[in-house]
């Protein structure tokens, strides 16, 4: 397995952003909604000796590994095998209704990418699985072989932002009529051949967008984000922060919209004074999104597409 999994994206910046909410709390609890390898959580546990971290992950295998790796913190690390859209019920199950900070690191984890048998990568031949939780849900293979052509086109266009979706789906339908599509390399080759030759010369592997679209559909990633962010905002104590890292524009757009809505006053713009009951209960920690430093980009190529946003609860 590759060592790239050990490099947590924008780790120090995330800890710095979460710190104010932790420091004002006597008994701080932070939720790492996407525990993964546990790099961000480990940094929090080392920096703040009194912090308790609730780590959520839909990948049972990842949870077992991180619990073993961070066993020295077993008294301060609570874990839950769940999708992060269950964040409220997870917090309540451990006895917490408010927390001092929440972190989301969206998208597929480095560990999952590096496990070729999981089917996330088009670089290695493997079954077309792509489920983050292999104990349940539909595989990418099931989607490819059973969905109606129109639905496949919609998925590739919206989730993959693939302009050649129709051509790719025509090829998928033709090939699956002969035999089921079950191989990552088979799919990657099919996509490459369906795209005009001139287009293949730029923009990296032409299968990237199709694989992204199937992964999002298989795991209902955007639906989970839409359900989770409002819950996360409700869980924050006054002074606590929600920090979210997105790795593609569809995720970032959802986060941006929720943050904008939460930090916008409900007072009509033409009124000269703020109506207290309609004042925004949240404030953006900084405008827009932040990206990694040049040094981090050099050390960790997987951080290239990240966009980080942060919001703070300023009123109950």
pLDDT in tens, 22-49: 999 999 999 999 999 999 999 999 999 9
| Confidence at 4, pLDDT banded by 50, 70, 90 | very low
Q: Which residue has the higher pLDDT, 108 or 239?
A: 239
Asked if 307 and 244 sit in the same domain, the reply is yes
How much is the average pLDDT of 145-161? 97
User: What per-residue confidence (pLDDT) applies to 120?
Assistant: 73
pLDDT of residue 103: 98
What is the pLDDT confidence band of residue 7, given thresholds at 50, 70 and 90? Answer: confident
Give 286's DSSP letter.
Answer: S
Q: Which two tokens stand for residue 82?
A: 């769940």
With CA atoms as reference, report the closest residue to 45 among 25, 70, 26, 13.
70
Same domain, 294 and 148: no
The Cα 9–Cα 22 span in angstroms is: 20
Residue 1 pLDDT more than 70? no
Q: Residue 296 — very low, low, confident or very high, per pLDDT cuts 50/70/90?
A: very high
Q: What is the mean pLDDT of residues 288-303?
A: 93
Could you give the percent of the chain with pLDDT greater than 70? 93
Show Cβ contacts of residue 179 under 8 Å, excluding neighbours closer than 6 positions.
Answer: none
Backbone dihedral angles phi then psi of residue 160, each to the nearest 5 degrees: -105, -10
Closest CA relative to residue 104, chosen from 26, 41, 167, 177: 41
The arrangement of strands across the sheet holding 282-284 comes to 77-81, 52-57, 29-32, 99-105, 236-246, 307-313, 282-284
Question: Do 208 and 239 sit in the same domain of this protein?
Answer: no
* 116 has a pLDDT exceeding 60: no
Residues 239 and 208 in one domain: no
Distances (CA, A) of 176 to 106, 138, 151, 196, 220: 32, 17, 15, 21, 23
Specify the number of domains making up the chain. Answer: 2
What's the gap between Cα 45 and its chain centre? Answer: 21
Question: Mean pLDDT throughout 156-177?
Answer: 97
pLDDT at 136: 85
Predicted local distance difference test score (pLDDT) of residue 2:
37
Mean pLDDT, the chain, as a whole number? 92
Domain with 182 in it: what CATH number?
1.10.150.170
Claim to verify: residue 107 and residue 7 sit in the same structural domain: yes
* pLDDT (average), residues 47-69: 95
Residue 291 belongs to domain spanning: 3-111+221-313
For 135, which DSSP code? Answer: T
Residues 6+ apart with CB under 8 A from 153: 165, 166, 169
Report the pLDDT averaged over residues 9-32. 97
Please write the tens of the pLDDT for every residue from 187-199.
999 999 999 987 7
| Spatial distance between the Cα atoms of 201 and 80, rounded to a whole number of angstroms | 44
Q: 264 pLDDT band (50/70/90 cuts)?
A: very high
Q: What is the pLDDT of residues 198-239, one digit of tens each?
A: 777 666 788 999 999 999 999 999 999 999 999 999 999 999
Tell me the average pLDDT across 266-270.
Answer: 91
Q: In this structure, are 147 and 176 located in the same domain?
A: yes
Q: Which two tokens stand for residue 121?
A: 């990568």
Residue 3's pLDDT band (cuts 50, 70, 90):
very low
pLDDT at residue 20 greater than cutoff 50 = yes
Domain CATH for 43: 3.40.50.150
The reply to whether 22 and 98 lie within a common domain is yes
Residue 33: closest CA among 118, 103, 129? 103
The answer on 71 and 167 residing in a single domain is no
User: How large is the average pLDDT for residues 276-280?
Assistant: 92
Neighbours of 10 (CB within 10 A): 22
The confidence score (pLDDT) of residue 198 equals 79
The predicted model gives 149-168 an average pLDDT of 97
């Amino acid at each position: 397995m590759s060592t790239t999994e050990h490099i947590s994206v924008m780790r120090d910046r995330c800890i710095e952003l979460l710190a104010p909410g932790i420091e004002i709390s006597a008994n701080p609890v932070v939720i790492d909604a996407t525990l993964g390898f546990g790099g961000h959580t480990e940094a929090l546990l080392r920096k703040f000796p009194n912090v308790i971290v609730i780590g959520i992950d839909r990948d049972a295998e990842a949870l077992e590994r991180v619990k073993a790796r961070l066993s020295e913190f077993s008294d301060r690390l609570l874990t839950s095998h769940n999708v992060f859209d269950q964040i409220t019920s997870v917090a309540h199950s451990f006895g917490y209704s408010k927390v001092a900070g929440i972190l989301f690191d969206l998208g597929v984890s480095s560990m999952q990418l590096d496990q070729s048998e999981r089917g996330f990568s088009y670089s290695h031949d493997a079954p077309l699985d792509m489920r983050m939780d292999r104990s349940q849900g539909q595989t990418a293979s099931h989607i490819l072989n059973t969905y109606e052509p129109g639905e496949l086109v919609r998925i590739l266009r919206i989730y993959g932002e693939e302009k050649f979706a129709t051509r790719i789906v025509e090829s998928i339908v033709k090939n699956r009529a002969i035999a089921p599509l079950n191989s990552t390399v088979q799919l990657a080759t099919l996509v490459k051949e369906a795209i005009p030759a001139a287009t293949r010369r730029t923009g990296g592997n032409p299968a990237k967008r199709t694989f992204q679209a199937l992964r999002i559909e298989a795991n209902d990633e955007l639906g989970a984000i839409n359900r989770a962010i409002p819950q996360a905002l409700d869980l924050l104590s006054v002074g606590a922060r929600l920090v979210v890292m997105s790795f593609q524009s569809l995720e970032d757009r959802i986060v941006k919209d929720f943050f904008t809505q939460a930090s916008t006053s409900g007072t009509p713009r033409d009124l000269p004074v703020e109506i207290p009951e309609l004042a925004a209960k949240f404030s953006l920690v900084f405008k827009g999104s932040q990206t990694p430093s040049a040094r981090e980009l050099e050390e960790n190529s997987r951080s290239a597409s990240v966009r980080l946003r942060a919001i703070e609860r300023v009123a109950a």
